[in-house]
Amino acid sequence: MQVTAMHFKRKAGANLRNEKLQKALEKLQSKFVDGRAVVIAELSDFEGLRDAAAAIRDRVLNNLDGYLQHFEQEATARGAVVHWAETADDVNRIVAEIAAQHGVQRIVKSKSMVTEECGLNDFLESRGLTVLETDLGEYILQLAKEPPSHIVAPVVHKSKEDIADLFEQKHHRPRTTQITELCREAREVLRPGFLAADMGISGGNFIIAETGSVLIVTNEGNGRLSTTLPRVHVAITGIEKVVPTLEDVTTLLRLLPRSATGQSITNYVSVLTGTKGKEDADGPEHFHIVLLDNGRSRLLGTELQPMLRCIRCGACMNHCPVYQNIGGHAYGWVYPGPMGSVLTPAFVGLENALDLPNASTFCGACAVVCPVKIPLPDLLRQLRHEQVKRHLRPWQERAALRLWSWLAQRPAWYALGTRLVVRLLCLFAGSGKRLRHLPGVSGWTNGRDMPAPTGRTFRELYRSGRT
């Protein structure tokens, strides 16, 4: 997927003015925020569970190579083939080779953000293969030729009317806005695709070291059809998704759906282990697992390592006031919201995503809801620090901060400076006591009035005892 994170401000502005999008984003509150609050309340010790989940993820990250080797041994012993991909291009090449090796022509896919990271669909289609997305949201986006705007609800930016129009245009059937009818229509179109597919591609929410299994959670059943009907199954996931034991996974599973969709458990939890056995009615004859690095190992041992705990639940974006107002496309890559504002610069380079670490009010809601306790505001602050250190911020901003730093270390000059600024602002504001235009901060005053200072500085008020 192309990186367009440098257009963040322009896209965010346009999205704020997009009334249809604003209406669609209202779903976040009722569907995800309120839903999460209800199911979290079912747990007697939610905070204890978060601590346990964070500890599991940290244990893995502190010995990632060991757990990955263990996973490879166990998966291989059960008939799977494990492939190591350093980059997104490696994933594409490996999957194309597997397809060629098994004479594959038609592929069905269940939802996978890692394959979005790699641009896998476009690559395979450029090789003459047919790729059909089977998650309903992803299928809609494939028809619309759009990227996902949310990691759990990829089509959250669309209304049912948008989808009705799209289905009418692409399926050539009578238009309906009934959700059950739209689902039935999609099912009828997708079902022959499952039956004809030679290969199924899935992601992996977790991979389990002790059994060599890939675990996926879905609500639509398309994951099971994609991974068990075709003769070849390829699971693609990031190297950080490894978890030591099934017991550990159950801890994480108590948090993932609750944090993601406000469900105690998803409709389907599939643990996929090895190839089809002699006694099995279903299952793939060939099972390939592709493990992607793509910059993840670079984060190990750095201040950003905690970001690798992420279990992709989406709670941080559902609760983020910035995401709630601009949606996911503004962030310009696969991962939106607070987690994306850390992951995108980390994966594609800070210089290619300059605004993302600043796309935060630092309200802290993301850190409060994150089930694995990732300190997202601290990580964003760390990236901002890095930007300043590498001189990546505009020169005006750096000059202003240098001036402020110089003044802040000289109390007498600071007091004089603030007195002057306050008097000037009062003068600009006039009798209305509101600043409508202020040179240098037009980004603020173009959208709202700024109240003028009351006339005296804090120091003056403090000295006169009127604090």
Binding interface with ligand SF4 (CB under 6 A): 259, 310-316, 339, 369-372, 374
By beta-carbon proximity to ligand SF4, the closer residue of 163 and 317 is 317
By beta-carbon proximity to ligand SF4, the closer residue of 80 and 311 is 311
- Residue 333 near residue 7, CB atoms below 8 Å: no
* Interatomic CA distance for residues 118 and 290, integer angstroms: 12
Sequence-distant (6+) residues with CB within 8 A of 249 are 206, 208, 215, 243
By beta-carbon proximity to ligand SF4, the closer residue of 115 and 228 is 115
Smallest distance from the beta carbon of 310 to ligand SF4, in angstroms? 3
- Distances in whole angstroms, Cα of residue 290 to Cα of each of 63, 96, 123, 321, 433: 20, 12, 16, 35, 62
Parallel, antiparallel, or unpaired: how do β-strands 106-109 and 130-133 relate? parallel
Handedness of CA 58, 62, 66, 68 (dihedral sign): positive
Smallest distance from the beta carbon of 335 to ligand SF4, in angstroms? 8
By beta-carbon proximity to ligand SF4, the closer residue of 348 and 370 is 370
- Distances in whole angstroms, Cα of residue 449 to Cα of each of 12, 428, 441: 20, 13, 11
- Residue 359 near residue 341, CB atoms below 8 Å: yes
By beta-carbon proximity to ligand SF4, the closer residue of 25 and 124 is 25
Smallest distance from the beta carbon of 338 to ligand SF4, in angstroms? 6
For the CA atoms of 94, 76, 116, 178, the dihedral, rounded to the nearest 10 degrees, stands at 130
By beta-carbon proximity to ligand SF4, the closer residue of 59 and 456 is 59
Smallest distance from the beta carbon of 307 to ligand SF4, in angstroms? 7
- Based on C-alpha coordinates, what's the Rg of the chain? 25
Smallest distance from the beta carbon of 333 to ligand SF4, in angstroms? 15
SS3 85: strand
* Interatomic CA distance for residues 95 and 290, integer angstroms: 8
By beta-carbon proximity to ligand SF4, the closer residue of 119 and 371 is 371
How far, rounded to the nearest angstrom, does the alpha carbon of residue 53 sit from its chain's CA centroid? 19
By beta-carbon proximity to ligand SF4, the closer residue of 56 and 369 is 369
* Interatomic CA distance for residues 227 and 407, integer angstroms: 63
Smallest distance from the beta carbon of 371 to ligand SF4, in angstroms? 6
- Residue 17 near residue 317, CB atoms below 8 Å: no
Smallest distance from the beta carbon of 314 to ligand SF4, in angstroms? 5
* Interatomic CA distance for residues 189 and 299, integer angstroms: 42
Smallest distance from the beta carbon of 135 to ligand SF4, in angstroms? 18
By beta-carbon proximity to ligand SF4, the closer residue of 142 and 219 is 219
Which burial class, exposed, middle or buried, applies to 92 when counting CB atoms under 10 A from its CB (0-12, 13-18, 19+)?
A: buried
Smallest distance from the beta carbon of 343 to ligand SF4, in angstroms? 9
Which burial class, exposed, middle or buried, applies to 305 when counting CB atoms under 10 A from its CB (0-12, 13-18, 19+)?
A: middle
Smallest distance from the beta carbon of 445 to ligand SF4, in angstroms? 33
By beta-carbon proximity to ligand SF4, the closer residue of 201 and 343 is 343
